[in-house]
A and B are shown apart, each in its own frame.
Chain A
Amino acid sequence: MKKVYGSAAEALDGLLEDKMLIAAGGFGLCGIPELLIDAIVESGVKDLTIASNNCGVDGFGLGKLLDTKQIKKMMSSYVGENAEFMRQYLSGELELEFNPQGTLAERMRAGGCGIPGFYTKTGVGTQIAEGKEVKQFGGEDYILEEGIFADLSIVKAWKADTTGNCVFRKTARNFNPPAAMCGKICVMEVEEIVEPGELDPDHIHLPGIFVHRIIKGEHEKRIEKVTTRSREEA
């Protein structure tokens, strides 16, 4: 079965529908599926619910889908870098479901592993626990969180072989593996596609079984906060 597609638009062909739930990889602007986000903007699909740790920045990453008002609801842990997000949220145009970061990651991982719910002590006694089942284990309270089963996953890896086995680079891995796992269909963009056998089978970060369509492209890889030290300090 052929997994490699010629462009982001081709790879998403037939997969996008209004009101769908999309899981997206990335942390801040690091490791985000830039090309797939651009193609979703172009497609005009709307009323999306997106599970992603953040929502990009104004005019970049998932922020582009805010500008075009294609997002109905975000499931995120931190959205503080985006003025348009705040404006839409405070005016009631955009729904927001806050998830503690580890809970969001585990909800994706669990969904991808066929686990519909799990108990965690994260958020016990806070707003996050409101309306959720509380159960005691060993005398301590835990809350029930549900696995995320997304209609579509959009993720970014460094290199993949043509069967979808892939490796990530440094902290650009972040939410990409769990986001990839929790979608019915996973579309992945990479910087380089290689032949099977070129990646060491012992060093695959995400096996190709989780990846259905692959595209290669140029990434801007914008840095959110450049921080450096001067050479004199060394």
Chain B
Amino acid sequence: MPWDRNQMAARAAEELEDGMYVNLGIGIPTLVANYVGDKEITLQSENGMLGMGPFPYEGEEDPDLINAGKQTITELPKTAYFDSAMSFGMIRGGKIAAAILGAMEVAENGDLANWMIPGKLVKGMGGAMDLVAGVGRVVVVMDHTNKHGESKVLKACTLPLTGTGVVDRIITNLGVLDVVEGGLKIVELADGVTEDELRAATEATIVN
């Protein structure tokens, strides 16, 4: 069985080490926060917050306290607030250890596309371009194939890029791959997924 969303998030949480400052993207990456266990992880929200807490209890929502996905959240005793210029100062300045992001396409050279589909979906990159350019390590979490069954793990991206050569590791429903010299290296297979199945769903070059 391929991993479901929560299993992918749990696997991504293993990437995080005690003491890290981390930025989580929207979608499956947001779920990663549920699986960090006893590790002391500080979540950065690029709209201007370090030390993001869980969603509020019903009735305790504060319109002045949201995350980068515009969801209501809460603060923690260690929380700090700052403006957007400082927020991206810490991102661009390499102070954030890792970002876990979703993607539309990833290429074998680490290129990432996750911000627009020309003529169809024109939403914008938000903070993604700054994050992939600035943080220490970029981990992509996404389904291995799109809804038409086509691989999202490609030799070269077809969509407009978010960054070039920026992805370090890809976690999909089928397994874990690292971007290495010459292509992608299989690090791990999801439970019950065979290497042949993963290779069949991957357009990118897989190296040993």
A residues apposed to B, CB below 8 Å: 27-31, 53, 76-81, 86, 89-90, 96, 98, 100-106, 108-109, 120-128, 158, 168-178, 205, 221-231, 234
Contact = CB atoms under 8 A, between A and B. Distances in A.
Contacts of B70: 27-30, 81, 224-225
B181 interface: no
Contact of B84 (A79, A105, A128, A170): A105
Contacts of A175: 83-84
B161 interface: yes
Contacts of A86: 122
B91 A226 contact: no
Interface stretch (B1-9, B49-57, B171-179): B49-57
Contacts of A221: 63-64
Given A78-B123, A100-B130, A171-B64, A105 B83 contact: yes
A80 B115 CA distance: 11
A227 B127 contact: no
Interface residues of B, number: 53
A82 to B, nearest CB: 10
A31 B48 CA distance: 12
B72 A226 contact: yes
Contact of A106 (B49, B71, B72, B88): B88
Determine chain B's interface SS by DSSP, over half rule. Answer: loop
B87 interface: yes
B27 to A, nearest CB: 13
B65 interface: yes
Contacts of B122: 79, 86, 89-90, 96
B130 A176 contact: no
Interface in B23-44: none
A123 B161 CA distance: 9
B83 A176 contact: yes
A171 B65 contact: yes
B92 A171 contact: no
Contacts of A126: 129, 160-164
